[in-house]
Amino acid sequence: MTTYEVNFDGLIGPTHHYGGLSLGNLASVEHRHAASSPRRAALQGLAKMKRVADLGIPQAFFPPQPRPDLAFLQSQGFTGSTYEIISTAYKSRPDLLSIAYSASAMWTANAATVSPSSDCADGRVHFTPANLQTMPHRALETQPTTRTLRAIFHDASHFVVHDPLPALPDSSDEGAANHTRFCRDYGLPGVELFVYGRDHSDEQSAQRFPARQTRVACEEIATSHGLCSKRCVFARQHPKAIDAGVFHNDVISVGNQSLHLVHQYAFAEQDRVLAELADSFGPDLQQVVISNQELNLSDAVQSYFFNSQLISTGPNQMLLLCPIECSESAAASQLVASLLRADNPIYDCQFVDLRESMQNGGGPACLRLRVVLTEEECAAMPSSVFLTQQRYHELYDWVSRHYRERLTIDDLAEIRLHDEVAIAMHELNEMLGF
């Protein structure tokens, strides 16, 4: 039976704005309170999805989450009508209003950690929604994400959607952005790499920014998914990388099938981690270490090179889908040219314009959750979430009609925005039928 890697991208929502809410994410903080373009953001994301789908790669999407989250604002003490809640929050705590309107669920690499049926003891695909408890605006996503996953992956004979881990300091979980799976073929058992920033047994060594993922969370997910312990590798992020703005592992390494591109400062015990991966996988694993001289940490974070998508288009053939910022960075563009000349599966590189997402701290890989599925498992999902040519044009039209070209922090105070978003989301739900 054929097995696919399906990319589930987040459809960027109509309240995409630059709240600067993510400590440790340099782009997010740098663009705090700048004017955004929700329409341009969503169309850029759709264009990226279509580019992948046009390659013959199964492409699906998650809808935006409802915003604003009025229940969150009520939990913060705001009362009255919808208008009164929004107006009072804007006047007294605009930061909380920004959290309530956050569109950060678009970055579905943080939606969950996924293990395919070939890796799991019970032969089902396992999902653990991320609790995202480190950042308040992202913690709001957890329960809606869980409901969405259970609506899509509803067939219990094929899928298990676990409850998120408890939102406790020792079980902080950021999803697939800190998880990479290596395999010879998508349908064969793989080796799963879990990356964490801190361990309960020691003090956090990063000084500037918080280490978001814990080892306890990684171990609990591996256990609940029924993974073979000999095919799991646990790696600690390098504190130097975290303090340079590497808030997730997908900002400093990227892997697909038998290829691993990894920065010199990705892991604290890099030699041990790479050796353990090689031992677990076997001699076919190609690990390319990018030195700090080739691409220093600052350039890696600015260009988001490691947040590129590595896409298999054929046997031992991969396309590197990079943010357009890589073409504008001398170091990143030289690195791309070097990889294309070298002996590895990458035969081509394409650059994609995701500036609206990038300015808020997320690149191509942030926007997608990788889900390995068999044909039978794909058939057990609602077809409405797959990006067909017809669905692409429907979504393009929907975005063009409902999204604002420009949005500022001050616009969040408008009750008109609330009403626009409610109408748009109602129409989308009718379109998708779930």
Q: Is 351 helix (H, G, I), strand (E, B) or coil?
A: strand
Q: What is the 3-state secondary structure (H, E, C) of 89-149?
A: HHHHCHHHHHHHCCCHHHCHHHCEEEECCCCCCCCCEEEEECCCCCCHHHHCCHHHHHHHH
The whole-angstrom distance between residue 148's C-alpha and the CA centroid of its chain comes to 15
Encoded amino acid at 322, one letter: C
Residues known to be catalytic? 174, 248, 366
DSSP notation for 297-331: HHHHHHHTGGGSEEEEEETTEEEEEEEGGGGG-HH
DSSP notation for 11-72: ---TT-------TT-HHHHHTTT--B-HHHHHHHHHHHHHHHHHTT--EEEEPPPPSS-HHH
Q: Which two tokens stand for residue 399?
A: 């975005």
Contact present, 242 and 211 (Cβ < 8 Å) = yes
In degrees, rounded to 5, the angle at the alpha carbon of residue 122 between the alpha carbons of residues 118 and 123 is 30
Contact present, 362 and 333 (Cβ < 8 Å) = no
Sheet arrangement for strand 253-256: 253-256, 259-263, 286-290
- Who's near 278: CB < 8 A, 6+ residues apart? 285, 287
Residue 214: how many other CB atoms lie within 10 Å? 24
Taking the C-alpha atoms of residue 361 and residue 56, their distance in angstroms, rounded to an integer, is 28
